[in-house]
Amino acid sequence: MQFPSDDSRSRRLNQRAQRVLPGGNTRTTVFMKPYPIYAAYGKGCRVWDVDGVERIDCTNNFTAAIHGYAHPELIRAAQSQLNLGTAFGLPTLSEIELAELLVERVASVEHCRFVNSGTEAVMSAIKAARAYTGKPKIAKCEGAYHGTYDYAEVSLDSQPGAWGAEAPASIAYAAGTPQAVMDDVIVIPFNQTERAVEILRAHASELAGILVDPMPHRAGLVPADPGYMTALREVASECRALLIVDEVIAFRLGFGGAQPFWNVAADLTVFGKIIGGGFPVGAVGGRRDVMQVFDPSHGKPQLPQGGTFSANPMSMRCGLAAMRLLQPDSFQQLAALGEQMRAGISAAFRRTRLAGQTTGMGSLLKIHFTDTSITDYRSALPTAEMKQKSERLSALLLNEGVLLGSSGLMALSTPMTSGDADQIISAVERALQRLL
């Protein structure tokens, strides 16, 4: 069945959804015109929609489904925990085991705590930085996405009209964000080391933490320059602020996460997505003395934190199973597939003579409809025409058997083969030809 289609079940489901969900939608990220396709089931790296159409999934639930769908080990983990109970008002062995795995794999993590989403984990890390330092402000990179905590959203989509010669302004993302939130967020440019350091130094006395994703997807999915990460590490220490590295997505880059690629050690690291094995999850981990802010063993902690479903054994058990499946060679294989895809799609752009390129690293890549060099949020910000091409591309790919979000972000999964990658590259090339 072609997309869109008048007699599609997805269309009918969306009409039904419109009656009870605003715009028929629960996640803005899956919104699609004229209607989104609805998933029926997934197996390996493929997803079938409610009309029975099969597609290779390059979205993988926004990078979370690193093993694709219905992996036998994950089914086993989920089923055995289901038989035992899904969440208790008591801690379980499973949270210790997942914490041990993170502490073993990530050099800068000595203690960690679990929550239910990356958003919550970012919020916990920001609050921990404030509690630990006694200072109020957080710095973040312009255009970088860190979930939906008010402070983390500031300047997520700042537009050229607001780009003066001065430091990037703190701009509200969501309507209703109080001015006080903007006042406590310092926005720094990504990959402009000197400028970022200068801005941070000017706020040293109020700066609690610097939040950075070393390869922010909404800011272009370009890796941070090595010097940029080193400088943020140094200036954080100099300002007695914490370096908070957001690895909610970047943790899929390597066995020890992202930090070894930049040779930096965070004070706090934020996790999510792949560490839940397909179930909701988030975690914040880091230096033992910093993580003490959560410690209730001497009375009320500086930062009390609960969460009805935090560290629930479904997420912990499946997360543990998913993480154990990921061994050093898994990351090598994923990176090789990523290279194949980046090279193949770049070649498809050259053959079709359309302006375009791919960015990314390891199992992550992003398609941009421009030939100009992308280094940060501003250079990655698509024009209306480029945005339209990205949206057209993902719609065309739906009819070429490939699922890709309109942001152009692709995340590969362990069940994908080199043959699947070739299939995706050919589908992209056919779709690009139709964009000419």
CA-to-CA dists, residue 12 to 9, 34, 37, 112, angstroms = 5, 11, 10, 44
CB of 272 to ligand PMP, least distance (A): 4
> Which residue number is nearest to ligand PMP in terms of Cβ?
118
Distance between first and last Cα of the chain: 24
Q: What is the DSSP code string of 317-376? A: HHHHHHHHH--HHHHHHHHHHHHHHHHHHHHHHHHHT-S-EEEEETTEEEEES--S---S
Q: Which of 36, 147, 254, 319 binds ligand PMP (CB under 6 A)?
A: 147
Q: Which of 208, 231, 248, 311 binds ligand PMP (CB under 6 A)?
A: 248
CB of 362 to ligand PMP, least distance (A): 14
Q: What's the angle, vertex CA 140, arms to CA 137 and CA 142, rounded to 5?
A: 135
Count CB neighbours of 294 within 10 A.
19
Judge if the upstream peptide bond of residue 4 is cis by omega within 30 degrees of 0: yes
Is 246 a binder of ligand PMP (CB under 6 A)?
yes
Alpha helical stretches, state H, 30-136: 60-63, 72-82, 93-105, 118-133
Helices 72-82 & 313-325 angle (0-180, nearest 10): 160
Residues 6+ apart with CB under 8 A from 1: 8, 51, 52, 53
Task: Give 3 or 145: the residue with its C-beta nearer to ligand PMP.
Answer: 145
Query: How deeply is 391 buried, as exposed, middle or buried, from its count of CB atoms within 10 A (0-12, 13-18, 19+)?
Result: middle
Task: Give 61 or 192: the residue with its C-beta nearer to ligand PMP.
Answer: 61
> Candidates 117-125, 253-261, 324-332, 397-405 — which segment interacts with ligand PMP by CB under 6 A?
117-125
> Candidates 72-80, 154-162, 186-194, 244-252 — which segment interacts with ligand PMP by CB under 6 A?
244-252
Q: Which of 185, 208, 241, 249 binds ligand PMP (CB under 6 A)?
A: 249
> Candidates 140-148, 235-243, 259-267, 290-298 — which segment interacts with ligand PMP by CB under 6 A?
140-148
Sketch the per residue contact string, 281 through 310, with ligand PMP: x for CB under 6 A, - otherwise.
-x----------------------------
Would you say how long the chain is, in residues? 436
d(C-alpha 90, C-alpha 111), whole Å: 19
**What are the b/e assignments for 137-169, b being 16+ CB within 10 Å?**
bbbbbbbbbbbbbbbbbbbbebeeeeeeeebbe
Q: Which of 42, 44, 118, 257 binds ligand PMP (CB under 6 A)?
A: 118
Q: Which of 3, 69, 132, 145 binds ligand PMP (CB under 6 A)?
A: 145
d(C-alpha 367, C-alpha 345), whole Å: 8
CB of 69 to ligand PMP, least distance (A): 18
Q: Which of 213, 267, 376, 400 binds ligand PMP (CB under 6 A)?
A: 213
CB of 269 to ligand PMP, least distance (A): 11
Is 319 a binder of ligand PMP (CB under 6 A)?
no
Residues 6+ apart with CB under 8 A from 10: 35, 36, 37, 38, 49, 50, 51
Task: Give 15 or 29: the residue with its C-beta nearer to ligand PMP.
Answer: 29
Is 122 a binder of ligand PMP (CB under 6 A)?
yes
Task: Give 207 or 281: the residue with its C-beta nearer to ligand PMP.
Answer: 281
Residues from 9 through 68 that contact ligand PMP (CB under 6 A)? 62
d(C-alpha 284, C-alpha 120), whole Å: 9
Q: Which of 117, 177, 302, 370 binds ligand PMP (CB under 6 A)?
A: 117
Task: Give 197 or 245: the residue with its C-beta nearer to ligand PMP.
Answer: 245
Three-state DSSP class for 127? helix
Residues from 337 through 376 that contact ligand PMP (CB under 6 A)? none
> Candidates 91-99, 246-254, 364-372, 385-393 — which segment interacts with ligand PMP by CB under 6 A?
246-254
Residues that bind ligand PMP (CB under 6 A): 62, 117-119, 122, 145-147, 213, 246, 248-249, 272, 282
